[in-house]
Amino acid sequence: MKKIMTIVGARPQFIKLAPLGGELDKQFNHIVVHTGQHFDDNMLDIFFQEMGIRKPDINLNIYGGNHGQQTGEMLIELEKVMIDRQPDLVVVFGDTNSTLAGALAASKLHIPVMHIGAGLRSYDMKMPEEQNRVCVDHLSAALAVPSHREKMNLKKEGIEKNVYLTGDIMVDSMNHFLEYSNQTMGVEGVDLEEGFAVLTMHRASNTDDESMLSQLIKLIEKSPMPVIFPVHPRTKKQLALFNISPKSPIILIDPVGYLEMLHLLNKSQVVFTDSGGLQKEAYFLKKPCITLRNTTEWIETIEQNVNTLIIDHNNEINSQLFFKAINSQYPLEKFKQSYGKPGASLSIVDIIKTIL
């Protein structure tokens, strides 16, 4: 039986592993390696518990430090694991340091790499995620892309072989777990049956800059509706460091699990985020998104006018765009669902069978 090693480390990767991992367990000798990149219990254990994902076979417990230190430590330890376990294929997801370290370790050992979620480009090389995804795509032997745009992005960079249009594996995750999302969840001070927004913010460009973080919080405080803000541990630390205390209508809550977040997104009226994954989840659930960034890899959401970037390329916040987006109408037909239908997981398994 062929041996497949999947590398995970961050919240979006746990979610993508959920529909795929079970299929790999059935048909291959499947080894799950968790780098440890997300280590907070609320952001790790809860995903495995509530989503029925089996515990990783190996946890490297590598977290914290700067990008170079973290990626380097992961590379060292992943190389040891791959030499020991000798996988026939290494599967990586998305664009985190875990993704890059996994692809580098495998490539240097001449183990083929499959990149799920390949071809995404924001064309902002200041973003660590953009650096990671470009490098990983050029190291990969097989690339699963969510839409035709990503296929064209790769073609521009000379990557045309072994590029597979599978659709987005997140569609499988969301369709499977939405019916199990926490229907009894409550947030003190908010009627979830009335209009509210969901806010997430963790990106270093927003949270490490005191002025930017303060300006964003002050702008969102002008929201005409309650704003539920599950606070990332990193953001919580920065808010305290800069002595920023978000006021009403922002309501801070602890980080939530995937099912709770799905429930909040599904009930919300609008999403404010600097997360790439949450932009896409909002799109799948037909919720307008206000993105606290100046670029996005999900270009289709911008073209369909259901996602608004409110930070310009000079790193200035455009408050007019913020209020215009909140007050705009978003008929459901605007959401064209450009990233495929359910079934990406099975397509990926079939591709793996053909390339091994």
Active site residues: 202
Q: What confidence category does residue 67 fall into, taking pLDDT thresholds of 50, 70 and 90?
A: confident
pTM confidence score: 0.86
99-109 per-position pLDDT tens digit: 999 999 999 99
109-152 per-position pLDDT tens digit: 999 999 999 999 999 998 999 999 999 999 999 999 999 999 99
Q: Where are the domains of the chain?
A: 3-168+340-355, 180-334
* Residue 90: its H or E element: strand 89-93
Burial class of 137 by CB neighbour count within 10 A (0 to 12, 13 to 18, 19+): buried
pLDDT at 292 (0 to 100): 98
Tokens of 274: 């600097």
15-51 per-position pLDDT tens digit: 889 889 999 999 999 999 999 886 665 556 666 676 6
pLDDT at 312 (0 to 100): 94
290-340 per-position pLDDT tens digit: 999 999 999 999 999 999 999 998 999 999 999 999 999 999 999 998 998
Interhelix angle 344-355/169-177, rounded to 10 degrees, is 140
pLDDT at 180 (0 to 100): 73
Mean pLDDT along residues 4-25: 90
pLDDT at 82 (0 to 100): 98
183-204 per-position pLDDT tens digit: 667 888 788 888 999 999 999 9
Q: Which of 175, 253, 202 minimizes the C-alpha distance to 15?
A: 175
Pairing of strands 163-165, 307-309: unpaired
pLDDT at 47 (0 to 100): 63
pLDDT at 351 (0 to 100): 97
What architecture is the 3-168+340-355 domain classified under in CATH?
Answer: 3-Layer(aba) Sandwich (3.40)
280-290 per-position pLDDT tens digit: 999 999 999 99
Statement: residue 14 has pLDDT above 80? yes
Query: Same topology for domains 3-168+340-355 and 180-334, yes or no?
Result: yes
Q: Percent of the chain beyond pLDDT 70? A: 95
Q: Give the whole-angstrom CA distance, residue 284 versus residue 336.
A: 9
Q: Which of 356, 288, 286 minimizes the C-alpha distance to 326?
A: 288
Statement: residue 213 has pLDDT above 70? yes
Statement: residue 341 has pLDDT above 60? yes
pLDDT at 194 (0 to 100): 87
Domain 180-334: CATH class, spelled out: alpha beta
